[in-house]
Amino acid sequence: MKKEPFVTKEQIEEIVKTYPTPFHLYDEKGIRENAKAVKEAFAWNPGFREYFAVKATPNPFILNILKEYDCGCDCASQTELMLADSQGFDGKHIMFSSNDTPAYEYKFADKIGAIINLDDFTHIDFLEKTIGKIPETISCRYNPGGVFKMSNGIMDNPGDAKYGFTTEQLFEGFKILKEKGAKNFGIHAFLASNTVTNEYYPMLAKQLFEVAVKLKEEVGCHISFINLSGGVGVNYTPDQEPNDIRVIGEGVHKVYDEILVPAGMGDVAIYTEMGRFMLAPYGCLVTQAIHEKHTHKEYIGVDACAVNLMRPAMYGAYHHITVLGKDNSVCDHKYDVTGSLCENNDKFAVDRMLPKIDMGDYLVIHDTGAHGYSMGYNYNGKLKSAELLLKEDGSVQLIRRAETPKDYFATFDCFDILKNMKDPEK
């Protein structure tokens, strides 16, 4: 399977006249089509809602596109809660899924009416002392431990994860929460990351549905929603078959009818909180080749670095690369594609077979729409790039400007560093 960029060389050449590389570019048409497909895939469940994982792409322009499809926001910090609140998402459309949570964040979540998803048994008392009550609607994150196995082998190891209640804690926690006044309960679990298979959600749903039935029968709690969280991945490599969200939705529907409906729980809403699946394929990092180095290996130096996309350096993650204008050329050159950080892992590709790259060529690094810009940082004094939206009509909108040296120095309150500084080139 070939990965095709959603932007052409001619379009990029026009864009860079206004916005120099590197920059993150998002595809509005793709985002909308995917959001619509997700909504349709779970239309069988009247209460369904996708709570987009804000951490993946925390940009108000993106959030407002998703809002048109009744998506909510899954937030993990006060700043993300503030972003969601500022864009007009009401409490029912905000899920607060945090861990090791400071008291002030719980207070703010309660203030805006967000649904609080507790990560730990001890947070029951902590939350009550912090906000003076237990909300009527509350959710708990479940971690059954052990390993999560699928037909293609072990996918992940929940037992090593820092998140969630054990099975025993979940049942005791629901009992305590009910005694303290909670009336509507949610169950949340995230047991595997970036699964490229249509069976993950249905398998997870079966496990959670069975637990939900037991909680209803043994504790007498009203389970109002079950949050399948994230974990539905994307095909970063061209040889992978992408997930089919409609097949996934029908798989969840099947186990819903098999387990929840016979137990008299056919009113349970299904929630998801996908970040990667919602956005990753609809964003790319555009960068330009500026140096080539011939030593023990062949290197191509680009004007982006791990500051702009951390995943390859941090995880060794694969991101496909297209050399614009050479999409159909033979990939007969082996390169390491590198950035300029003082770190040897600052590489977007290692021993990657690509067409011959000439200085000035534009490279599209695919699937950066989630956990791309958002994981950026300022090591080596590097500045974060702009974010652009390729709109459906072909025009381009700046949705976050690039950082400047003034931004970098702004937090040095006791120094006026810029006063005696010469103007930088960029």
Q: Which residues contact 128 (CB under 8 A, 6 or more apart)?
A: 134, 180
Residue owning tokens 């043994």:
218
User: Which residue in 235, 148, 243 sits closest to 192, CA to CA?
Assistant: 148
Per annotation, catalytic residue among 71, 73, 221, 342: 342
Q: Which residue has the tokens 């804000």?
A: 54
Task: Give the residue among 98, 56, 64 at the shortest CA–CA distance from 78.
Answer: 98
Q: Cα–Cα distance between 298 and 334 in angstroms, integer?
A: 7
Is residue 284 part of the annotated active site? The answer reads no
Is residue 49 within 8 Å of residue 268, measured between CB atoms? no
What would the two tokens of residue 135 be? 């909300």
Name the token pair of 115. 């649904």
Neighbouring residues of 262: CB distance < 8 A, sequence distance ≥ 6: none
d(C-alpha 279, C-alpha 248), whole Å? 17
Query: Does residue 338 sit in helix, strand or coil?
Result: strand
Measured distance CA(141)–CA(101) in Å, rounded? 14
**CB neighbours of residue 147 within 10 Å:** 14
HSE at residue 337, side-chain half, CA atoms within 13 A, is 32
Q: Write the single-letter amino acid at 166.
A: T
What is the set of active-site residues? 342
